[in-house]
Amino acid sequence: MKRNTIVLLGVAVFLVIAGLSCVSAYNKLVALDQGVSAQWAQVENVYQRRADLVPNLVETVKGAANFEKDTMTQVTEARAQVGKVTVGKDVVGDPQTFQRFQQAQDKLSSALARLLVVSERYPDLKATQNFRDLQAQLEGTENRITVERQRFNETAQSFNTKRNTFPTTILAGFFGARFGQKTYFQAQPGAQSVPRVKF
CATH number for the domain harbouring residue 167? 1.20.1440.20
Whether the Cβ atoms of residue 152 and residue 43 lie closer than 8 Å to each other: yes
d(CA 104, CA 9): 60
Give the pTM. Answer: 0.74
Q: Is residue 189 part of a domain?
A: no
Q: Is residue 193 part of a domain?
A: no
pLDDT at site 104: 86
Q: Is residue 173 part of a domain?
A: yes
pLDDT at site 194: 46
Task: Write out the DSSP string of the chain.
Answer: -HHHHHHHHHHHHHHHHHHHHHHHHHHHHHHHHHHHHHHHHHHHHHHHHHHHHHHHHHHHHHTSTT--HHHHHHHHHHHHHHHH----GGGGG-HHHHHHHHHHHHHHHHHHHHHHHHHTT-HHHHHSHHHHHHHHHHHHHHHHHHHHHHHHHHHHHHHHHHHTSTTHHHHHHHTGGGGPPPPPP-PPTTTTSPPP---
Average pLDDT per consecutive 10 residues, the chain (199 residues; last block may be shorter) = 82 87 89 91 88 80 64 77 72 82 86 78 70 83 91 94 89 84 79 46
Q: How many domains does the chain have?
A: 1
Q: Is residue 187 part of a domain?
A: no
Q: Is residue 198 part of a domain?
A: no
d(CA 110, CA 9): 66
pLDDT at site 64: 62
Give the Å distances, CA to CA, from 57 to 70, 125, 143, 189.
15, 11, 17, 27
User: Which structural domain range is residue 103 located in?
Assistant: 2-179
Q: Is residue 191 part of a domain?
A: no
Whether the Cβ atoms of residue 159 and residue 32 lie closer than 8 Å to each other: yes
pLDDT at site 195: 46
Q: Is residue 185 part of a domain?
A: no
pLDDT at site 1: 64
Q: Is residue 142 part of a domain?
A: yes
d(CA 36, CA 105): 19
